[in-house]
């Protein structure tokens, strides 16, 4: 079953690999060594990206086989995934979450909104993209990005 899945592994697509090469280097510097614990923050997303992230950890894409796990506390996390444009009310919680994580810590901005506010740019209550609030290490484009792209980004970070 393992072989079958990896044979048709969508994450092996060229785009996924290329997008995360720089991140892989960053991750190796961070010493994550094939283990990534992820804390997710919805900073104002329409929840489309959340559905895709959920799929990334589901049975089909199964990010766990690459050493990626979702955790319950930012204290346990190495990677912060952020979705959506950062709203005014979520800016401080996002900053607090980042501050609560132990170093080394990485931020993965998932989706177009997280990169540049997407369709919500200039909207009421929108503060700006994630990069304005916390330093972003990896960006995953797409509205919403495919689970494969998310898995690829996380694999890049984990180095596996």
Partner 1 sequence: MSAWVTAAVQAVLVAAVAPLVIGLMRAVRARLEGRAGGRLAQPWRDLRKQLRKEPVIPADAGMFFTAAPVVLMATSVLVAGAAPYLSTAGPLPGVADLVVVVGLLLLGTVALALAGLDTGTAFGGMGASREMTIAALVEPTLLLAVFALSTRVGATDLGAIVAAGATDPARVFTPAGALAAAALAIATLAEAGRLPVDNPATHLELTMVHEAMVLEYAGRDLALVEWAASMRLTILLGLLANLFIPWGVASGAQPAALVLAAGVFVVKLAALGGLVAAGEVFVAKLRLFRVPELLAGSFVLGLLAVIASSVLA
Partner 2 sequence: MNPVAAALGAAFALAGSGAIAALPAPARWGPAVVGAATAGVGIAGAAAGGAAVSGTVWQAYLPDLLPLAGVRLAVDPLAGWFLLLVGGVAAVVGVYTIGYLGRDGHGPAARGALAVLPVFVAAMLLVPAAGSVSTFLLAWELMAVTSLLLVLGEHRHSPAVRTAGLWYAAMTQAGFVTVLLGLTRLAAAAGGESFAAIRAAGAGLSPVTAGGVFLLCLAGFASKAGAVPLHPWLPRAHAEAPSHVSALMSAAMVKLGVYGIVRVGFDLLGGGARWWWLLLGALGAVSALYGILQAAVATDLKRLLAFSTSENVGLILLGLAAAGVWAGAGQDGVAGVALAAALLHAANHAGFKTLLFCGAGSVLRSTGTRDLDALGGLSRRMPATTALFTVGALCAAALPPGNGFVSEWLLLQALLHQAPQAGTVLTVAAPVAVAVVALTAGVGVATYVKVLGTGFLARPRGDGAATAVESPRSMLVAMGLAAAACAGLAIVPVVAAPALERIAGELRAGPELFAGGGVDLRLAGIGSIVSPLWVAVGVIGLAVGFAAAGRALGRARRRAPAWDCGDGPLTARMEYTATSFAEPLQRVFDDVLAPEQDVDVTPAAESAYIVRAVAYRRRLPDRIEAHLYGPVIAAADAVGRAGRRLANGSVHRYLAYMLAALVAVLVAGVIR
Q: Is 100 in the site for partner 1 (CB under 8 A)?
A: yes
Q: Is 50 in the site for partner 1 (CB under 8 A)?
A: no
From the list partner 2, partner 1, none, pick the one residue 37 interacts with, judged by a Cβ distance below 5 to 8 Å according to partner type. partner 1
* Contacting positions for partner 2 (CB under 8 A): 41, 73-75, 92-94, 96-97, 99-100, 102-103
From the list partner 1, partner 2, none, pick the one residue 94 interacts with, judged by a Cβ distance below 5 to 8 Å according to partner type. partner 2
Query: What torsion, rounded to 10 degrees, do the Cα atoms 108, 106, 36, 29 define?
Result: 130
At residue 11, φ and ψ (nearest 5 deg) are -70, -15
Q: Is 75 in the site for partner 1 (CB under 8 A)?
A: yes
Q: Is 67 in the site for partner 1 (CB under 8 A)?
A: yes
Residues across the chain: 160
Whether the CB-CB separation of 39 and 74 falls below 8 Å is answered with yes
Which is closer to partner 2, CB of 15 or CB of 33?
33
Q: Which two tokens stand for residue 88?
A: 């005014």
Residues contacting residue 45 through CB under 8 Å, at least 6 positions apart: 83, 84, 85, 111, 113, 114
Least Å distance between CB 159 and partner 1?
10
Rounded to whole angstroms, how far apart are CA atoms 14 and 78?
A: 25
Binding site residues, partner 1, CB under 8 A: 1-2, 5, 31-35, 37, 59, 62, 64-67, 69-73, 75-76, 78, 100-104
């Amino acid at each position: 079953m393992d072989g079958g899945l990896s044979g048709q592994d969508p994450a092996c697509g060229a785009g996924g690999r290329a997008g995360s090469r720089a991140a892989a280097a960053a991750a190796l510097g961070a010493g994550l060594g094939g283990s990534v614990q992820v804390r997710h923050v919805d900073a104002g997303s329409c929840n489309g990206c959340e559905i895709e992230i959920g799929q990334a950890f589901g049975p089909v894409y199964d990010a766990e086989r690459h050493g990626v796990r979702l955790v319950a506390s930012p204290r346990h996390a190495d990677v912060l995934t952020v979705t959506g444009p950062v709203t005014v009310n979520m800016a401080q919680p996002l900053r607090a979450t980042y501050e609560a994580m132990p170093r080394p810590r990485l931020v993965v901005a998932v989706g177009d909104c997280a990169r540049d506010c997407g369709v919500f740019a200039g909207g009421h209550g929108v503060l700006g993209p994630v990069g304005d609030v916390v330093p972003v290490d990896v960006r995953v484009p797409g509205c919403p990005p495919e689970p494969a792209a998310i898995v690829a980004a996380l694999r890049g970070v984990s180095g596996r």
